[in-house]
C-alpha cells in the first residue's frame, strides 16, 4: 500500500516542527520557516509503526538558479538556494526519524508561465543556445525540460526506490548547470 504514496504539497512560511527545533537546541520560533515545515511537522507527529521506515520523504522543487549565479536573478536565485539549504539541513535533522529530504532543481522548463514571459515569441532555440552576454549557459541536451521531466524525478525521489537517498540536490536541467 505504500508503493504509490503521492507527493504532498506543502505551504510556504510555516514554523519548523518542534521536535526538529529541539534537536537543533533552539525554540521553534527561533528557526526560519520554510515550505517543508508543515509536512515535516506532520511526519514527526506520526508514531513509529504508522508508516514503514524510509518511506516518508520531503522533496523541495527549487531551481538550477540556486546552483549558479544568474544575471538579473539575484533575489530569485538566493531564495531558491535558501530553500535548498533548508531542506538539506532538515534532512540531517529528520534522518534519524526515517524522513528523507531532497531537492530537485529544474532548469528552464517549457510551461505556460515561461511562454507568457516570452511575449508571444518562441525563444526556445535562443534559450537552448544560452546567452553569453548574460552569462547564461546553454542546454547541452539540446532541449528545454518539460513538466513531466521534472515530475518524473520527484516521483522517483518520493518512491521506495529512493529509500536510501537523502540530503541530495539534483539538477534536472539537461546539463545547463554543469553539475
CA nearest 153: which of 79, 65, 74, 57? Answer: 57
- The SS3 of residue 35 is coil
Known catalytic residues are 76
How far the first Cα of the chain sits from its last, in Å, is: 35
CA nearest 89: which of 169, 156, 160, 14? Answer: 169
Quote the CA–CA distance of 45 and 26 in Å, as a whole number: 19
- The SS3 of residue 20 is helix
Quote the CA–CA distance of 76 and 65 in Å, as a whole number: 8
Amino acid at each position: 500500500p505504500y508503493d504509490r504514496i503521492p507527493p504532498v504539497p506543502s505551504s510556504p512560511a510555516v514554523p519548523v516542527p518542534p521536535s526538529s527545533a529541539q534537536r537543533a537546541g533552539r525554540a521553534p520560533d527561533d528557526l526560519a520557516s520554510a515550505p517543508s515545515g508543515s509536512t515535516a511537522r506532520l511526519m514527526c507527529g506520526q508514531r513509529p509503526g504508522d508508516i514503514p521506515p524510509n518511506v516518508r520523504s520531503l522533496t523541495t522543487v527549487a531551481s538550477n538558479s540556486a546552483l549558479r549565479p544568474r544575471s538579473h536573478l539575484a533575489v530569485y536565485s538566493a531564495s531558491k538556494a535558501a530553500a535548498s539549504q533548508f531542506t538539506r539541513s532538515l534532512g540531517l535533522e529528520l534522518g534519524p526519524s526515517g524522513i528523507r529530504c531532497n531537492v530537485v532543481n529544474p532548469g528552464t522548463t517549457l510551461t505556460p508561465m515561461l511562454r507568457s514571459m516570452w511575449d508571444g515569441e518562441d525563444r526556445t532555440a535562443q534559450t537552448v543556445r544560452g546567452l553569453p552576454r548574460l552569462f547564461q549557459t546553454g542546454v547541452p541536451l539540446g532541449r528545454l525540460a518539460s513538466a513531466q521531466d521534472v515530475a518524473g524525478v520527484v516521483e522517483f525521489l518520493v518512491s521506495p526506490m529512493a529509500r536510501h537517498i537523502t540530503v541530495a540536490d539534483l539538477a534536472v536541467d539537461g546539463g545547463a548547470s554543469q553539475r
